[in-house]
Structures are given as C-alpha cells and as structure tokens.
Structure 1
Amino acid sequence: MPATFDPDHLRARLRPLAEARPLSEEDLAYQQFYGLELGERRGMGRFEVAGYELVSHVWWPARPKATLFLFHGFYDHTGLYRHVIEWALAQGFVVIACDLPGHGLSSGERASIGDFAEYQAVVQGLFAEAVSLQLPPPWHLCGQSTGGAIVIDHVLNSGADSPAQGQVILLSPLVRPRAWGWSQLSYNLLKPFVKGIARRFSENSNDPAFLPFLQADPLQPRRLPTAWVGALAKWIKRIEAAPGSARRPLIIQGEADMTVDWQHNLEVLNAKFDRPQVLMLPEARHHLANESVALRDEYFGFLSKRIKGRNL
C-alpha cells in the first residue's frame, strides 16, 4: 500500500494536542498505513521544542487508569510501535508519544541531533502536552533502544523531581552500541570528511514481515549522520557518570541483539538502579517492539504480571 501523506504538509496543519482539530484525511491515511487506528479515541498534534516542530500522538482506552509515555528508537518513529500501543491500551493506559527530532513526521535533519540534551527537552515538552490533556497518573515511561537511553537519562538525572514516578520499561536499552570502540575509531577518521554514511538495514527481528516493511517505509532515514555518533559519544560519558537511582526498571533484552552491547549495558544498569527486573530472551533480536508474536507475547506477559503487581 503506497503512502498517501506528506510529512511536512501533515505536520504544518497540526496544533498542540489540547487544541487539536479532528483528524484530517491525511492524518487518517497516515494512521491507516501504520495500523494506528487504535483505542476508544486518538489524536495527533504538534509542539515546538529546541527549535524543532515535533509531531505528537495520543490514544485513550475505554477506562483510563494511568498514562504511558512511549519513546521510540534511533531511525524509528511512532508509527512502528503499534504492538506496544495495543498492549498498553489493554492495560488501561493512555499512550502518549512523539516522533523525535529528525525522525518520522517531526522536523530536523534526518536521524541527527546536536546534543542528547535536546532529547531531554523533548521529554519535558511531551510532559507539558500530557499536563494540558490532564492525562491520568501514575505516569509510566517506556523506551526502546535510544528511547530507552532517553528514559534512563531522565530517570537518573531527575530523580524525585520527575512527574513520571510510575513504572520504567526498557526494551533493548542503549547505553553503548555494539563494537563501540570500532565505531569511535571510524567516527574520528570520517568526521573531517563526511557528514554521514549510508545506512545498512540489518536483520533486527524474527518477524519475517518486519524487515521488508522497514525497507519500504517512507519515513525511514537512509543515512547515519556522523553528528549523531558524536553526540552519542558525549552522552555515554555523561550517563556512565550519572548518579544512581532507587527505582527498579523492567528490562527486556534479547541475547541475539547485534545492535547494542547488551552485556556491558546490563552491567551499567544493574549498577545504576536498585535490582532491575530483567527478562532475557535467548532468540530475540534488537527491535523488540516488532519481534515475532511468540516473543512479544512472552515479554508482554512478563510486563503485565509485574505491572498488575503494583496495583495500578
């Protein structure tokens, strides 16, 4: 099915979520393309932060009892997170998300960022959108890969000041990517000469339909900007020096993940947090949000059991 929406045109007519108009035909075409026609009602909006125009999304279940903030991974966008959204709605959570700068429907150089601190400005902007909608507490946080890094940064550095004191869910969280030493060497060699390199699509899921869809996705960036790698290098030093937290996140990690250095990352997270609850999936690859049905069912069951144990 060909895409029948233009990101720039779609974004231009959106307003903040609290002022959102009924969804246009173009909005509906976008949601249909990615299977986001979910919940009892839904909305799309736009807010500005750090010089970016970011597109936000919200879905309500029939009887809301909490809110889940969803942060997508690098190269991704909200449109790829249908399965996570469906699970959260079934738990009674309102789901609110936005496309990160340079991703999906949001503005910015594709897949680039000047500093990871800009992602924290995005978090605060999305919190403000949730306040404007009076979304119900407790507020939970969920991030996949780079989205997990954003959540980790927020939780470690905000502590009790964060309005999101609910559960923290990390899917294949990024602290350091796989083969980071080689990546740094390559970055230092290339940055004087190039601004980016061609992206290589990897087998990052056991779902045979996911990779072909990803390769045909009109919102997928096609290059890896060297600026993003440089920002990541600075962020890794920041996060590994961050204070610890008494919170106990739920972490899902695939042992067949060839994107992040998950052994190192789990060591860091075990040291930073109070006894994280970790589910290891031997066959799972990196893109847990789009893993095979069996693997999704396993980790969603793990999450549902522990969230119900909090009496939410």
Structure 2
Amino acid sequence: MDQRFLDSLVERLPELQLGQPFNPAARQYAAYYGIDFSAEVEQHLGHIAVDGFDLAVQVWRPSAPRGTLVILHGYYDHMGLYRHLIRWALSHRLAVLAFDLPGHGLSSGERASIDCFLRYQQVLDGVFEQARLWRLSAPWHFLGQSTGGAILIDRLLHGPMPEQAGQTILMAPLVRPKQWGVSQFSLKLLGGFIQQLGRRFTDNSTDGDFLEFIRQHDPLQPQVLPVAWVQALDKWIPRIETAVPTEHKPLIVQGQADGTVDWQHNIKVLQEKFDGPELFYLPEARHHLANEQAGLRQQYLDWLGDRLGY
C-alpha cells in the first residue's frame, strides 16, 4: 500500500455516519492492516470534525453488542495496528470504536505532534459526543496503550467521565518516558534551535514480524520526533504528578522488559493517584503490549476478560 492511495483515501473519507456502506477503498485499507471484519460485523470508516482536526474514526458493531471498547492508540501508532485487540473485543460481542489521534494515521494535524496535551482531552470530548449520538452500547470500556493510556489517566484524574463509562484499561501507560531527565536536558539545549529530530525505531515488542512491518511496510509510520510534542509532554507531566488522587480503579497491564517508559516510576505515581488499581505484570513483555507475541497477549487478555466479566 503506498502513500498516494492513503492520501486519496483521506481526501474521500466521508463524515462518519453509522449505516453508511463500507466502500471498496476503505475495505482495501482495512484488509492491508488486518482489521477488515466487515464480513462478520457492521463496519464503518469516516471522519469527524473536532477542535480543528479531521479525525479518522472507525466503528465495528456486532449484532446485539453487550458494550463498547474505545481504543486509544500510542504515540507513532494508528488504529490500523490494533487488530488483535479489535478481534478480541468482537469475539466477546463488544462493539469497538477506534480513532487516529491528531497527527497520526489518517487524521489531520502535523505529523506526530501536538501543541498541548490538553488538546487530546478536547478530542476525547468530541469522540464521546459522537458515541452518544451514535448510541453505542453501554458500558463503554476504555483501553489506552502508552500515550493513549496517558490521555485516559488525565481524564480519570480531572474528569469528567461519561455516564456510560465502564472499566478503564491502561497498557504500558505513559507518565514519564525512560531517561526523562536526560530528555529534559536535551530539550533545553535543542528547544530553541531544532524543530524536529529523526525518529529512532526501537525493539519495543518481542514480535519480530510486527517490528519488521512498522519499519518496512507501514506507510503511516511518522519518521520524525517533533520537539513541540516533547515540549507539550514536559508541561503535561506535572499536571499528572501533582493531581489530587481519585477513587477510580483502572486496570493496568505492564511489561517489565519495557524500555520505552519509566514504568517503575509510573506505576508508583498511578498507585498514589488511584484507589487500589489492579495490576498485571508480564516479566518478559516490552512496551507495545497491543502487538506483543501471541502468548504474552493471551495472558493479559485472559486476565482482562475475567475482570470485565467476559
């Protein structure tokens, strides 16, 4: 799949309305990423306008759903990479709502950048409003990988959560990245002179096929690290670390071989901010839990299924 096809797809994305046909171009995109479940469930791809962005949104809806899973992807990701979690949710008769964050995937915005993390909260408000208009089945469970988890942490601490809210699942959630002190020092040196750095791909999963795909075969992978995104993160971290604790009890899945986030520090912060969150550790898992090898995925999916009653 080349960038020209994706650019054409974005240009022709309709405003998302449930019930509209799943067109051939959308099906081709979904098939490439392994997220075409249109033969089994009602599936839609379109865009919604939120806070100056055109957000690409996708909905999978089985017959007689018994809830909805809302997926928030990680930094550099997009909803096309979450086929394992989408398939798992659909197998439990959950509808799925996923969207590309601003600057990611098929959504508009400067690639992999944001000027303020609070804009992610405005985007989330817009998505919630659409979910209400579409009358997606309650309860709404929320799952966030890494930066997606950070967005959900902010929402749990500062609210409001929608009345339809069920469980919140944080997978390798971001509060501070690994070696954040070094990053802050570099930010002060470079912030006034350099706008972006080249992206460095890391071995953030034990699934070699996934690593090869994002490096060699995924045209939606950003190739830069914008300094503006790191500056926005720098301003956001104190908002979380100084927040007043809340009674929410998220489910947290964390790999202990994670070299992307400072997970020991992050878990300590989350245990202080939330009222007895449930933790599931995977000693061999790295950062990208949504795309870890099958055996590791099955361990945490079984655990999540028990907690969600599925």
So what's the TM-score if we normalise by structure 2?
A: 0.95
For residue 164 of structure 1, report the CA deviation from its aligned partner.
4.5
Q: Which residue pairs with 1:219 in the alignment?
A: 220
| Range with bigger deviation, 121-130 or 258-267 | 121-130
For residue 22 of structure 1, report the CA deviation from its aligned partner.
1.6
Q: Which residue pairs with 1:264 in the alignment?
A: 265
Q: Does 1:207 align with 2:175?
A: no
For residue 13 of structure 1, report the CA deviation from its aligned partner.
2.3
Q: Which residue pairs with 1:289 in the alignment?
A: 290
So what's the TM-score if we normalise by structure 1?
A: 0.95
For residue 197 of structure 1, report the CA deviation from its aligned partner.
0.5
For residue 5 of structure 1, report the CA deviation from its aligned partner.
6.1
Q: Which residue pairs with 1:62 in the alignment?
A: 63
For residue 23 of structure 1, report the CA deviation from its aligned partner.
2.4
- The verdict on how the C-alpha distance between 1:164 and 1:197 changes in structure 2, with shifts beyond 3 A counting, is farther
CA contact (8 A) 1:4 1:30 kept: no
Return the letter of the residue paired with 1:184.
Q
Q: Does 1:183 align with 2:189?
A: no
Return the letter of the residue paired with 1:209.
D
Please give the per-residue CA displacement for 1:255-277, whole angstroms capped at 9, x wherever unaligned: 00000000000001001111111
The percentage of aligned residue pairs carrying the same residue is 50
Please give the per-residue CA displacement for 1:123-169, whole angstroms capped at 9, x wherever unaligned: 1111122112110111111100000000111111115x533420010
For residue 230 of structure 1, report the CA deviation from its aligned partner.
0.2
CA contact (8 A) 1:139 1:163 kept: no
User: Distance between the aligned counterparts of 1:139 and 1:54, measured in 2?
Assistant: 20
CA contact (8 A) 1:73 1:145 kept: yes
Q: Which residue pairs with 1:153 in the alignment?
A: 154
For residue 92 of structure 1, report the CA deviation from its aligned partner.
1.8
User: Distance between the aligned counterparts of 2:247 and 2:57, measured in 1?
Assistant: 30
For residue 14 of structure 1, report the CA deviation from its aligned partner.
2.3
Cα RMSD of the aligned pairs, angstroms, is 1.5
For residue 9 of structure 1, report the CA deviation from its aligned partner.
2.4
User: Distance between the aligned counterparts of 2:220 and 2:7, measured in 1?
Assistant: 11
For residue 182 of structure 1, report the CA deviation from its aligned partner.
0.3
CA contact (8 A) 2:3 2:219 kept: no
For residue 28 of structure 1, report the CA deviation from its aligned partner.
1.1
Task: Look up the SS of the partner of 2:225 in the other structure.
Answer: strand
- The verdict on how the C-alpha distance between 1:294 and 1:75 changes in structure 2, with shifts beyond 3 A counting, is same
Q: Which residue pairs with 1:31 in the alignment?
A: 30
User: Distance between the aligned counterparts of 2:276 and 2:6, measured in 1?
Assistant: 42
User: Distance between the aligned counterparts of 2:178 and 2:3, measured in 1?
Assistant: 36
Q: Does 1:91 align with 2:98?
A: no
CA contact (8 A) 2:18 2:44 kept: no
Q: Which residue pairs with 1:72 in the alignment?
A: 73
CA contact (8 A) 1:5 1:30 kept: no
For residue 19 of structure 1, report the CA deviation from its aligned partner.
5.8
Return the letter of the residue paired with 2:127.
L
Task: Look up the SS of the partner of 1:286 in the other structure.
Answer: coil
CA contact (8 A) 2:196 2:225 kept: yes
For residue 240 of structure 1, report the CA deviation from its aligned partner.
1.2
User: Distance between the aligned counterparts of 1:20 and 1:5, measured in 2?
Assistant: 27
For residue 11 of structure 1, report the CA deviation from its aligned partner.
2.3
Q: Which runs of 5+ in 2 are unaligned?
A: none
Return the letter of the residue paired with 2:280.
L
Q: Which residue pairs with 1:298 in the alignment?
A: 299
Q: Which residue pairs with 1:255 in the alignment?
A: 256
CA contact (8 A) 1:289 1:296 kept: yes
For residue 49 of structure 1, report the CA deviation from its aligned partner.
1.4
Q: Which residue pairs with 1:120 in the alignment?
A: 121
User: Distance between the aligned counterparts of 1:16 and 1:243, measured in 2?
Assistant: 38
Please give the per-residue CA displacement for 1:230-257, whole angstroms capped at 9, x wherever unaligned: 0001110111122222121110000000
Task: Look up the SS of the partner of 2:304 in the other structure.
Answer: helix
| Range with bigger deviation, 176-185 or 9-18 | 9-18
For residue 29 of structure 1, report the CA deviation from its aligned partner.
1.1
Q: Which residue pairs with 1:106 in the alignment?
A: 107
CA contact (8 A) 2:172 2:261 kept: yes
Task: Look up the SS of the partner of 2:165 in the other structure.
Answer: coil
User: Distance between the aligned counterparts of 1:163 and 1:51, measured in 2?
Assistant: 26
User: Distance between the aligned counterparts of 1:286 and 1:70, measured in 2?
Assistant: 17
For residue 16 of structure 1, report the CA deviation from its aligned partner.
3.1
| Range with bigger deviation, 35-44 or 263-272 | 35-44
Please give the per-residue CA displacement for 1:182-232, whole angstroms capped at 9, x wherever unaligned: 001111111111111011110011111011001121000000000000000
User: Distance between the aligned counterparts of 2:77 and 2:164, measured in 1?
Assistant: 23
User: Distance between the aligned counterparts of 1:84 and 1:143, measured in 2?
Assistant: 11
For residue 98 of structure 1, report the CA deviation from its aligned partner.
0.7
Q: Does 1:143 align with 2:183?
A: no
CA contact (8 A) 1:3 1:33 kept: no
